[in-house]
Amino acid sequence: MITKNIAILTSGGDSPGMNSSIFGAFTACQNNELHLWGILNGYDGLIDNKFIEIDYQLLAGRINRGGSILKSGRSKRFLKSNHFKTAISNLKKNQIDALIIVGGDGSLKGAMKLRDNGIKVICLPGTIDNDLDFTYTIGFDTATNNIVNAIDNITDSLSSFGYGAVIKIMGNQCTDLIDTVADAIHTNLLVKSKDFDINSLVKSIKTRYDGNHLPPIVLVLEESANIEDLCTVLQEKCKIQFRPHILGYIQRGGTPSAFDRRYGFTAGKSAVESILRKKYNCAIGLIGDRLSSKEIENCFKF
Ligand code: F6P
């Protein structure tokens, strides 16, 4: 069978570099006279038959922006068998020969379901969480830098007033973001699970903070603690004012780093080239500094 039509979708939390993946896939399709179809809104678009042909006009001015030009989603409907069947029949109706899925662990699970029902898939690891078993996922580098830059800004104000901060960091159940940021901002004040030891946190703050150097910055992974309550407790015990900060989508959005653009682009291109070599039903991502493919089953860290 000759490959003519490839489709691509982005799913789950958007990650900076997803657009570069789309551009990489588009470039390889152009080089090989293939059509690249974008599916809008993640797996929901498969169900709703939202297929659009990707061309230069769609990409113009948006390739190096964050977010996803195809939009994303966490589709609950895709898990229901009637909607799943519709998704499969839409792929067939649109004569899609293979589907590229850019997303995190939930998206890869969806990809396995499609594969098990005869659809040819290739996954690219797109998530800021770094919770897939590649050296990095697309978007992790940018998110790390976004967080460090935001904390640098916060630090200027904290230092002027002698305050500390408690800052909530994304990552879902994966600690890679919070650990990498902690190293980069030189803090060892981390709350990564609900059963953290408040006394040892207070002790570390008291030992380390002398009022002259870096302010005490406590990083909290997602829902491990209520950051307002934690500020109140630390204020009482350490006699320093603590300010809560939720960085939210400042972490996930924004211009992708050079690393994530290159990673996204080369992975997208490689996905199409792999399909042309008739190698599909795998995931392609960085292992060390090389793009490698592995079984989708072997990509999960949790
Ligand atoms: O998967 C990326 C991520 O940003 C996680 O770090 C976080 O747990 C989740 O998405 C937040 O999801 P939402 O899009 O619902 O805010």
> 171 CB less than 6 Å from ligand 1?
yes
Q: Could you report the per-residue pLDDT of 34-85, keeping only the tens digit for each? A: 999 999 999 999 999 999 999 999 999 999 999 999 999 999 999 999 999 9
Q: Give me the pLDDT at residue 97, please.
A: 98
Q: Could you report the per-residue pLDDT of 176-199, keeping only the tens digit for each? A: 999 999 999 999 999 999 999 999
Asked if 74 and 108 sit in the same domain, the reply is yes
| Boundary residue ending a domain (251, 270, 286) | 251
pLDDT, mean of residues 118-137: 98
Asked if 209 and 89 sit in the same domain, the reply is no
Cβ within 8 Å of residue 79, ≥6 positions away? none
Q: How far is the CA of 127 from the centre of ligand 1 (A)?
A: 9
pLDDT band at 150 (very low <50, low <70, confident <90, very high): very high
- For the chain, the domain total comes to 2
Q: Could you report the per-residue pLDDT of 250-291, keeping only the tens digit for each? A: 999 999 999 999 999 999 999 999 999 999 999 999 999 999
Q: Is 55 a catalytic residue?
A: no
Q: How far is the CA of 24 from the centre of ligand 1 (A)?
A: 25
Residue nearest to atom 15 of ligand 1 (CA): 13
Asked if 163 and 132 sit in the same domain, the reply is no
Q: Give me the pLDDT at residue 190, please.
A: 98
Q: Could you report the per-residue pLDDT of 48-57, keeping only the tens digit for each? A: 999 999 999 9
Q: Give me the pLDDT at residue 257, please.
A: 98
Whether 149 and 141 have beta carbons less than 8 Å apart is answered as no
Residue nearest to atom 12 of ligand 1 (CA): 13
Q: Give me the pLDDT at residue 142, please.
A: 98
Return the SS3 of 125.
Answer: strand
Asked if 134 and 191 sit in the same domain, the reply is no
Is it the case that residue 123 has pLDDT exceeding 80?
Answer: yes
Find the domain containing 127 and state its range.
Answer: 5-139+256-299
Ligand 1 atom with the shortest distance to the CA of 174:
6
CATH of the domain at 69: 3.40.50.450
Where does residue 66 fall: left (phi above 0), alpha (psi -120 to 50 degrees), or beta otherwise?
A: beta
Asked if 89 and 162 sit in the same domain, the reply is no
Q: How far is the CA of 170 from the centre of ligand 1 (A)?
A: 7
77 CB-contact burial (10 Å; exposed 0-12 / middle 13-18 / buried 19+): middle
Asked if 100 and 124 sit in the same domain, the reply is yes
Q: Which residues pair with 39 in a beta bridge?
A: 51
Q: How far is the CA of 35 from the centre of ligand 1 (A)?
A: 32
Asked if 40 and 21 sit in the same domain, the reply is yes
Q: Which of 103, 114, 163 is nearest to 137 (CA)?
A: 103
Q: Could you report the per-residue pLDDT of 91-105, keeping only the tens digit for each? A: 999 999 999 999 999
Q: What are the C-alpha distances in Å from 202 to residues 224, 229, 231, 235, 238?
A: 17, 14, 11, 10, 7
C-alpha–C-alpha distance, residues 291 and 302, integer Å: 22
Of all residues in the chain, the percent with pLDDT exceeding 90 is 96
Is it the case that residue 216 has pLDDT exceeding 80?
Answer: yes
C-alpha–C-alpha distance, residues 68 and 17, integer Å: 8
Q: Give me the pLDDT at residue 272, please.
A: 98
C-alpha–C-alpha distance, residues 34 and 27, integer Å: 10
Position with higher pLDDT, 195 vs 209 = 195
pLDDT, mean of residues 6-23: 98
Structure tokens at 121: 């898939």
Is it the case that residue 167 has pLDDT exceeding 80?
Answer: yes
CATH of the domain at 187: 3.40.50.460
> 106 CB less than 6 Å from ligand 1?
no
C-alpha–C-alpha distance, residues 269 and 277, integer Å: 13
> 16 CB less than 6 Å from ligand 1?
no
Asked if 177 and 127 sit in the same domain, the reply is no
First-to-last alpha carbon distance for the chain, in angstroms, is 37
Structure tokens at 218: 């406590």
Asked if 224 and 278 sit in the same domain, the reply is no
Q: How far is the CA of 79 from the centre of ligand 1 (A)?
A: 19
Q: How far is the CA of 56 from the centre of ligand 1 (A)?
A: 30
Whether 126 and 104 have beta carbons less than 8 Å apart is answered as yes
Residue nearest to atom 13 of ligand 1 (CA): 13
Position with higher pLDDT, 115 vs 1 = 115
Asked if 124 and 262 sit in the same domain, the reply is yes
Q: Which of 131, 172, 178, 179 to mutate to test ligand 1, by most ligand atoms within 8 A of the CB atom? A: 172
Q: Give me the pLDDT at residue 140, please.
A: 98
Where does residue 71 fall: left (phi above 0), alpha (psi -120 to 50 degrees), or beta otherwise?
A: left
Is it the case that residue 212 has pLDDT exceeding 80?
Answer: no
C-alpha–C-alpha distance, residues 108 and 300, integer Å: 9
Q: Give me the pLDDT at residue 74, please.
A: 98
> 129 CB less than 6 Å from ligand 1?
yes
pLDDT, mean of residues 117-127: 98
Is it the case that residue 2 has pLDDT exceeding 90?
Answer: no
Ligand 1 atom with the shortest distance to the CA of 252:
4
Whether 275 and 97 have beta carbons less than 8 Å apart is answered as yes
The single residue listed with the structure tokens 């690219």 is: 124
Check 14, 105, 129, 141 and give the catalytic one: 129
